[in-house]
Amino acid sequence: MRRGKQYAVAASGQWSDEEDGGRRRLPAGEVHAWEPGRNETVCGLSLSRSQLVRFPHVGWADTFPESGGAADRVRRVCPRCASVAGRRGSDARPRWQRVRPRP
């Protein structure tokens, strides 16, 4: 079975969470899905030209409010990235999948 891609986060801002005892960088503002090793987001924005900060330690699923992860200061999730990388949560629809392709 094929394993899905693992997406990290690139965001327009950052903040530090000091509740866990250590300082941990977390995304803030607008977030985009990003594949580590590439210089662009899933929706096609250049990381350097858009001045996006990379968060390789934060998974894409943690940016949604219902996850309870790193979504405290996320203001907007890129809809194009969410359509490609998947939006997981209680209100998410299952991904489209072809059941019986034509011969």
**Over the stretch 10-37, which tens digit does the pLDDT of each residue have?**
999 998 877 766 688 899 999 999 999 9
If DSSP codes are grouped into helix, strand and coil, which group holds residue 33? strand
Q: Tell me the pTM.
A: 0.77
Calculate the average pLDDT of the chain. 82
* pLDDT tens track for 71-90: 888 889 998 898 888 775 44
Instruction: Write out the E strands in 64-103.
Output: 74-77
61: number of Cβ within 10 Å: 19
Q: Cα dihedral sign for 30, 75, 55, 66?
A: negative
Question: Of residues 6 and 31, which shows the higher confidence score?
Answer: 31
Confidence of residue 100 (pLDDT cuts 50, 70, 90): confident
